[in-house]
Amino acid sequence: MVSVEVPSYKVVDSVELPARETAVIVVDMQNDFVKPEGKLFVPTAPATVEPIRRLLDRARSAGVKVIYTQDTHYDWDPEYEIWGEHVKYGTWGWQIIDELKPQPGDIVVQKTRYDGFYGTPIDDLLRVNKIKNTVIVGTVANICVLHTAASAALRWYKVVVPVDGISALTEFDMHATLRQIDYLYKGVIVRSADGIKFV
């Protein structure tokens, strides 16, 4: 066994973002990941549902764009060799959880890889709407959340992540993700989704 410490990272209590220049990206909050009977259940994911729901309520009220990614796989998907069958297109497990059901005006983007930007129209959607800031929530922290945050940062979008709005399979994965976003992508880590204000 190898044991390492995660270097420190900065966490702030609050951040204000201009509503017209901000989008919330909800990553893969689907039944297979969030529900205990799901095929790739993340035990800490259920605790993120309410913070994300409150964030989305404030975002929609302020006119902030909301984009969902929906991890999507098919019969012949090679990713099954890594994780087993999960979020198969059209199944219950593939559906976004009812508690965070997309609302009229929200956009749902299906993706086939970890990165929400890879092979999807997200970058175009953000650019045509003159978005500069992305608030990223969802699961799994060190996989789809981190790869999506990386792609946003590498395209020079500001990345904001609330600690209670993402979930991971292990505590190390959670802290390593937040350290990476803070240190490498110069993102903003907020203690709670409730600390994100839209102005």
Active-site annotation, residues: 28, 111, 144
* Nearest-10 Cα torsion for 184, 188, 190, 194: -140
